[in-house]
């Protein structure tokens, strides 16, 4: 059709269009533009607008003839990225096709050629390794993209993934490695926006996995400022999302406590029907954990160049947890001397109707928290349902404080244990929605003077009671009656004797059964009434029917028996011999007889015992 020559000297730019633009390019025609560019300059081609016709034969295309290229002519579709960083002069040709007679369509083209000086680091490539990433895209673009369209007079900044494939916007997909270079005099005009999706497919596997929400080093090592990194967290119906920041913790951005860090997180909980802006958070606060229902979008935004230094300390993590009751639950663990401001999500527009939000505030054991609200009332009127504020300490038997939307909010109060704050919304009468803000401060626990006096008084009372009990026990011990023996069939109180003289045990013989009881053997003279008369106690023998062990019972201690003189006319009971080995004869060894114990052993055939009753009777006669 024609050949147009354009001479470009120095750094410049030119915008050209196809014949009849914006009408159609003639059918099956060829048009060529010759660009004369100094050899020390670099040229790049950009297609700003084009349309294609309906071809029956051939194909619409553009062809480049570049001196020194081994593949002349280089053929491109109009939809491809056009060559850039071309050294010196080149030709560009537009080739039409045979169009459909019924529906020919329109072929048209508007393009721009930019000539600029070669960049100092045009041969410097940066390796971007996304081979180990999954479901992620990285876009390098000019500032203001995608909402702003750069002017033709703006300095050109190009991003190249190979020497000839350059554009103002370059998108890299995960699963590959790229060598990126830049044709831009001022790299501060470029930005990076990345997006990563995390979803749960297998419930059993994803509940045990913790995902790191940190920017990969493949992005932070580029000489381009990160503008935004977006995580899209897709939770199934039976699971929810939990976000934690164990070491840095999160601070909620509120008017009284603004974030001044180099980056922040914007968190949005969304469903197909509703969207809840949870808030803006930055590192270095008191919020340790956030649990949310539905799908979550977390957008990290940077401010200034400080993020490159702080990116190594990111600790934001995500996991899938079982279904939670509230729409959102915050776990707050403030520092001992911190003052924390917290506010309801969707600020300042207010909570959507029928939304419930909870905060769990952990109070250290040696600290006391003070809770207060920033206003006196909730400031809404309910059309359907009720709006409530519930406050309760996490301790058994704690009283719960409840306020409705038509009541005054609680005054500042001290909380001695970890506590919950719950806010639930109703459907308001007008467009005014529920917005609520509260604060928490901490102080050392101090005992009240009344409590100290009560403790001291209680200790004194306990001491007095202890002294009284000790005195009463001493008096009772002096006045107590002689001790009474208790039968114990597991204790052997017999003195040692020769083995083998008494083969049968107590259970195997009837040595404990009395054949005859003589009335004269009543030792009534040992007991005296207060008037000096003798009143012997007589009873009828009854056979013993209780449990019988192999050993005899223990008698009362000898020292507690009353020492009385026997009457001279009392009839002596028959002596008890050692040969019979009566099971109810108890003995002890006298101390004064210890020296001649060897003689006694010979006389008693080794039996070292003396009848206690016999010994007592002999002492009485001697007196």
Quick check: is 181 in a domain?
Answer: no
HEC string for 160-226: EEECCEEECCEEEECCCEEEEEEECCCHHHEEEEEEEEEECCCHHHHCCCCEECCCCHHHHCCCCEE
Where do we find the tokens 């006389």?
Answer: 603
Distance CA 136, CA 144 (A): 21
User: With a threshold of 0.75, does the pTM exceed it?
Assistant: no
Quick check: is 105 in a domain?
Answer: yes
* Count of alpha carbons within 13 angstroms of residue 322, beta-carbon side: 1
Q: What is the phi-psi region of residue 550: left when phi exceeds 0, alpha when psi lies from -120 to 50, beta otherwise? A: alpha
Strand partners, 297: 232, 268
Quick check: is 527 in a domain?
Answer: yes
Q: Which pLDDT belongs to residue 576?
A: 43
Distance CA 40, CA 43 (A): 10
Do 443 and 484 share a domain, yes or no? Answer: no
Do 501 and 574 share a domain, yes or no? Answer: yes
Quick check: is 501 in a domain?
Answer: yes
Answer for the pair 62, 92: CB distance below 8 angstroms, yes or no. yes
Last residue within a domain, chosen from 459, 491, 513: 459
Quick check: is 420 in a domain?
Answer: yes
Per residue in 105-141, is it b (16+ CB within 10 Å) or e — as a string?
ebbbbbbbbbbbeebeebeebeebebeebeebbbbbb
Distance CA 384, CA 354 (A): 9
Do 490 and 618 share a domain, yes or no? Answer: yes
Do 335 and 411 share a domain, yes or no? Answer: yes
Longest dimension (CA), the chain: 168
Do 454 and 508 share a domain, yes or no? Answer: no
Quick check: is 425 in a domain?
Answer: yes
* Phi, psi dihedrals of residue 456, rounded to the nearest 5°: -65, -45
Last residue within a domain, chosen from 88, 118, 148: 118
Do 25 and 95 share a domain, yes or no? Answer: yes
Do 110 and 14 share a domain, yes or no? Answer: yes
CATH number of the CATH domain containing 441: 2.60.120.290
Q: Which pLDDT belongs to residue 232?
A: 96
Do 450 and 502 share a domain, yes or no? Answer: no
Quick check: is 531 in a domain?
Answer: yes
Report strand pairing: 190-199 vs 225-234.
Answer: parallel
Tens-place pLDDT, residues 408-462? 999 999 999 999 999 999 999 988 889 999 999 998 876 554 555 665 567 777 7
Q: Which pLDDT belongs to residue 124?
A: 82
Do 455 and 337 share a domain, yes or no? Answer: yes
Q: Which pLDDT belongs to residue 127?
A: 93
DSSP letter for 400, please. Answer: P
Do 505 and 612 share a domain, yes or no? Answer: yes
Q: Which pLDDT belongs to residue 616?
A: 44
Q: How far is CA 297 from CA 197, 263, 293, in A?
A: 9, 16, 12
> Collapsing DSSP states into helix, strand and coil, what is residue 546?
coil
Do 492 and 549 share a domain, yes or no? Answer: yes
Do 487 and 589 share a domain, yes or no? Answer: yes
pLDDT along the chain (623 residues), means of 10: 88 90 91 93 90 90 90 90 88 93 91 83 82 95 85 77 82 94 86 95 84 93 94 90 93 92 94 86 95 94 84 89 91 90 93 94 91 94 95 94 95 95 94 92 70 62 74 62 50 51 53 54 49 52 60 51 42 44 43 43 43 46 44
Distance CA 613, CA 556 (A): 13
The residue segments making up the domain with residue 497 are 480-623
Answer for the pair 139, 193: CB distance below 8 angstroms, yes or no. yes
Last residue within a domain, chosen from 71, 87, 118: 118
Quick check: is 473 in a domain?
Answer: no
Structural domain count of the chain? 3
């Amino acid at each position: 059709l024609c050949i147009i020559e354009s001479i470009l000297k120095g750094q410049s730019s030119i915008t050209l269009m196809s014949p009849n633009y914006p009408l159609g390019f003639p059918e099956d025609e060829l048009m060529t533009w010759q660009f004369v560019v100094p050899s020390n300059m670099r040229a790049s081609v950009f297609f700003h607008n084009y349309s294609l016709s309906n071809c029956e034969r051939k194909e619409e295309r553009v062809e480049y003839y570049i001196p020194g290229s081994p593949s002349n002519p280089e053929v491109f579709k109009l939809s491809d990225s056009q060559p850039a960083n071309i050294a010196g002069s080149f030709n560009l040709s537009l080739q039409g096709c045979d169009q459909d007679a019924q529906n020919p369509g329109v072929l048209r083209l508007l393009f721009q050629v930019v000539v600029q000086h070669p960049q100092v680091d045009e041969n410097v490539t940066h390796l971007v390794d996304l081979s180990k990433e999954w479901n992620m895209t990285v876009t390098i673009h000019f500032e203001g993209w995608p909402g702003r369209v750069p002017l033709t007079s703006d300095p050109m900044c190009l991003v190249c993934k190979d020497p000839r494939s350059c554009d103002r916007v370059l998108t890299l997909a995960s699963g590959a490695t790229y060598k990126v270079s830049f044709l831009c005099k001022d790299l501060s005009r470029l930005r990076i926006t990345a997006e990563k999706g995390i979803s749960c497919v297998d419930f059993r596997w994803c509940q045990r996995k913790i995902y790191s929400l940190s920017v990969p080093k493949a992005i932070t090592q580029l000489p381009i400022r990160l503008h935004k990194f977006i995580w899209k967290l897709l939770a199934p119906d039976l699971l929810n999302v939990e976000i934690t920041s164990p070491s840095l913790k999160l601070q909620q951005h509120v008017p009284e406590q603004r974030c001044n860090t180099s980056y922040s997180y914007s968190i949005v909980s969304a469903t197909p029907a509703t969207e809840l802006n949870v808030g803006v958070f930055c590192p270095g606060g008191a919020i340790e954990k956030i649990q949310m229902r539905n799908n979550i979008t977390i957008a990290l935004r940077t401010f200034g160049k400080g993020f490159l230094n702080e990116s190594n300390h990111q600790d934001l993590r995500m996991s899938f947890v079982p279904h939670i009751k509230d729409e959102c639950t915050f776990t707050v663990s403030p520092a001992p001397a911190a003052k924390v401001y917290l506010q309801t999500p969707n600020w300042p527009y207010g909570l959507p109707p029928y939304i419930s939000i909870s905060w769990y505030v952990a109070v250290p054991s040696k600290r006391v928290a003070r809770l207060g609200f920033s206003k006196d009332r909730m400031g809404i009127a309910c059309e359907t349902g009720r709006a409530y504020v519930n406050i309760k300490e996490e301790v058994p038997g704690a009283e719960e404080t409840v306020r409705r939307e038509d009541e005054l909010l609680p005054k500042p109060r001290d909380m001695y244990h970890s506590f919950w704050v719950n806010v639930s919304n109703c459907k308001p009468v007008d467009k005014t929605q529920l917005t609520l803000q509260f604060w928490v401060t901490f102080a050392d626990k101090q005992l009240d003077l009344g409590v100290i006096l009560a403790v001291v008084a209680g200790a004194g009372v306990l001491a007095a009671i202890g002294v009284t009990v000790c005195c009463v026990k001493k008096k009772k011990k002096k006045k107590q009656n002689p001790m009474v023996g208790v039968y114990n069939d597991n204790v052997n109180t017999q003195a040692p004797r020769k083995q083998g003289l008494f083969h049968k045990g107590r259970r195997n013989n009837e040595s404990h059964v009395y054949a005859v009881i003589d009335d004269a053997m009543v030792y009534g003279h040992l007991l005296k009434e207060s008037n000096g008369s003798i009143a012997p106690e007589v009873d009828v023998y009854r056979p013993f029917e209780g449990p019988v062990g192999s050993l005899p019972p223990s008698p009362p201690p000898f020292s507690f028996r009353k020492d009385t003189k026997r009457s001279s006319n009392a009839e002596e009971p028959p002596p008890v011999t050692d040969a019979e080995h009566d099971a109810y004869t108890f003995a002890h060894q006298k101390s004064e007889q210890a020296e001649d114990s060897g003689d006694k052993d010979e006389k008693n055939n080794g039996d070292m015992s003396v009848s206690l009753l016999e010994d007592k009777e002999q002492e009485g006669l001697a007196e």
